[in-house]
Amino acid sequence: MDFLSLAAKRRSVRSYSAKPVEEEKLKACLEAARLAPSANNRQPWRLIVVKAPEIRAKLVEVAGGQRFVGEAPIVIAAVALDPKRLMRCQIPAYAVDVAIALDHLTLAAASLGLGTCWIGHFDQGEAKELLKVPREYQIVALTPLGYPAVGEERPRSRKPLDALVSWDVWS
Ligand SMILES: Cc1cc2nc3c(=O)[nH]c(=O)nc-3n(C[C@H](O)[C@H](O)[C@H](O)COP(=O)(O)O)c2cc1C
């Protein structure tokens, strides 16, 4: 599948089947994340692959009761290792770096018929405690990873390009 078709196909999946994810597919998704670019090539992140049912069940609570988070056989937590570092442009590098890596992962998953859903609605402190993440790091996002339960969710509408793009200068 070419990239534009893949970008059009990917959507947030909020209903999962219990079908296990093949190890080679999981590894391919992780490899796509590994290949992501990062500021100064620091790769300042670590992914926690959660398979244990009891931890996934607790992640549902940590994520404000979003039940589909625990439906998938895998949940991935994306952890930033350098959350204080600003780029020269004053933007925190960690959020950008982790987002690119996780986006690679979600697109790779879509290309393999797997579903994901970015989860930003979770309690940082509770998630860190549950996953034993050191205090100085930050969990940027979670995503379930698994086979979509039924059919495909309808794509969300998007703003028209004119509302998103200026040419030459701000307009
Ligand atoms: C940073 C971020 C955080 C998000 N957090 C949640 C979340 O906590 N729960 C949820 O159901 N969807 C969450 N989403 C998914 C968005 O709602 C979704 O991407 C958006 O509505 C567009 O739909 P699509 O992904 O199907 O194209 C999040 C997406 C992003 C990028």
Compute the average pLDDT of residues 53-70. Answer: 98
CATH number of the domain that 13 lies in?
Answer: 3.40.109.10
- Residues contacting 12, CB < 8 A, separation 6+: 116, 117, 118, 153, 156
Mean pLDDT, range 112-135, rounded to an integer:
98
Residue 59 belongs to some domain of the structure:
yes
**Type and span of the H or E element at 24:** helix 23-34
170 domain-assigned: no
Please report the atom of ligand 1 found closest to the CA of residue 155: 26
Element of type H or E holding 85: none
Residue 72 corresponds to which tokens in the numbers above?
């998938």
Q: Which atom of ligand 1 is nearest to the CA of 68?
A: 11
Q: How far away, in angstroms, is 122 Cα from ligand 1 center?
A: 12
* Structural domain contains residue 167: no
Is the residue at 163 inside a domain? no
Question: Looking at the predicted structure, is the pLDDT value of residue 151 above 90?
Answer: no
Q: Is the pLDDT of residue 154 over 80?
A: no
Identify whether 126 is part of a domain: yes
Residue 1 has pLDDT above 90, yes or no: no
Residue bearing the CA closest to ligand 1, atom 23: 156
Angle between helix axes 93-111 and 23-34 (nearest 10 degrees) is 140
Tell me the best of 105, 118, 159 to mutate to test the pocket of ligand 1, counting ligand atoms within 8 Å of each CB and taking the most: 118
CA of 85 to the centre of ligand 1 (A): 25
Q: State phi, psi for 16 to the nearest 5 degrees.
A: -125, 150
Position 168 in a domain: no
Residue 8 within a domain: yes
Stretch 144-169: mean pLDDT: 90
Q: Of ligand 1's atoms, which has the minimum distance to the CA of residue 121? A: 8
Q: Is residue 153's pLDDT more than 80?
A: no
Residue numbers of the domain that contains 141? 3-149
Exposed e or buried b per residue across 43-68, where buried means at least 16 C-beta atoms within 10 angstroms of its C-beta: ebbebbebeeeebbebbbebbeebeb
Question: Is residue 132 packed enough to be buried (19+ CB in 10 Å), middle (13-18) or exposed (0-12)?
Answer: exposed
Residue 160 forms part of a structural domain: no
**pTM for the full predicted model:** 0.96
Number of domains in the chain: 1
Pocket of ligand 1 (CB under 6 A): 11-12, 14, 66, 117-121, 141, 155-156
Residue 95 and residue 32 in contact, taking contact as beta carbons nearer than 8 Å = no
